[in-house]
Structure 1
Amino acid sequence: TVRALHREGARVVAADVTTGAGEKLAAELGCTFSKLDVTSEQDWKHVVADIVAQHGSLDVLVNAAGVEGDMVHGTPESTSLAEWRRVMSVNLDGTFLGCREALPVMKRRGAGSIINISSTVAYIATPNSTAYGASKAGVMQLTKSVALHGSLEGHRVRCNSVHPGIIATRMIESISAQLAQFNNVAVDDVARASMSRIPFGEAGRPEDVAELILFLASDESRYITGSEFSIDGGWRLMGRPKPANK
Structure 2
Amino acid sequence: MSRNIVVTGAGSGIGEMAAKLVVERGDVAIGLDLKNAEFEVDLSNQDSIAQVVEQVSAKYGTVDGVIANAGTQTNSPLDLKVNYFGAVDTVRAFLPLLQKSENARVAITASGASLQPTDTNLVQLLLDDKREEAIEYGKSLQEQGPEIGYTNYSASKRAIATWVRRVAPTDEFAASGIGINAVGPGVVATPMTTELLSTEEGRALAFGAMPAPYNGALRPEDVADVLVFLVSGLNRSMTGQIIYIDGGFDSIRRGEDIWHAPKSMDQ
Counterpart selection for 1:98 from 87, 90, 112: 90
> In the TM superposition, what are the counterparts of 1:27-46 in structure 2 within 5 Å?
33-46=38-51
1:109: Cα distance to partner? 2.9
Output the amino acid matched with 2:169: L
Distance 1:171 1:146 in 2: 31
Contact 2:115/2:253 (<8 A) preserved: no
1:56 and 2:61 correspond: yes
RMSD over aligned CA atoms reads 2.2
* Residue 5 (str. 1) matches residue 22 (str. 2): yes
Tell me if the contact between 1:62 and 1:114 (Cα under 8 Å) persists in the aligned partners.
yes
Worse-superposed segment, 223-232 or 85-94:
85-94
What's the offset of the Cα at 1:49? 1.9
Aligned to 2:199: 187
Give the match's secondary structure for 1:224: coil
Q: Offset of 1:103 from its aligned partner? A: 1.3
Which residue in 1 is equivalent to 2:219? 205
Residue 142 of structure 1: aligned partner: 163
Match of 2:252 in 1: 238
What TM-score do you get using the length of structure 2 for normalisation?
Answer: 0.70
In the alignment, the residues of structure 1 paired with residue 204 and residue 116 of structure 2 have an alpha-carbon distance, to the nearest angstrom, of 20
- Alignment partner of 1:224 is 2:238: yes
Query: Aligned pair count?
Result: 205
**Alpha-carbon separation, structure 1, partners of 2:163 and 2:200:** 36
Q: Is the 8 A contact 2:173 2:179 kept in 1?
A: yes
Gaps of 5+ in 1: 24-32, 71-82, 178-185, 241-246
1:198·1:238 contact (CA, 8 Å) conserved in 2? no
Instruction: Report whether the alignment pairs 1:115 with 2:107.
Output: yes
Cα-to-partner distance string for 1:42-82 (whole Å, 9 max, x where unaligned)? 22122222222222201111111111123xxxxxxxxxxxx
- Residue 116 (structure 2) aligned to one of 103, 124, 138: 124
Partner of 1:170: 191
Which residues of structure 2 form unaligned runs of 5+?
1-17, 119-146, 255-267
After superposition, the C-alpha distances for 1:161-214 in whole angstroms (9 at most, x for unaligned) are 11000110123336x38xxxxxxxx83322156457322142111010011011
Shift in Å at residue 219 of structure 1?
A: 1.1
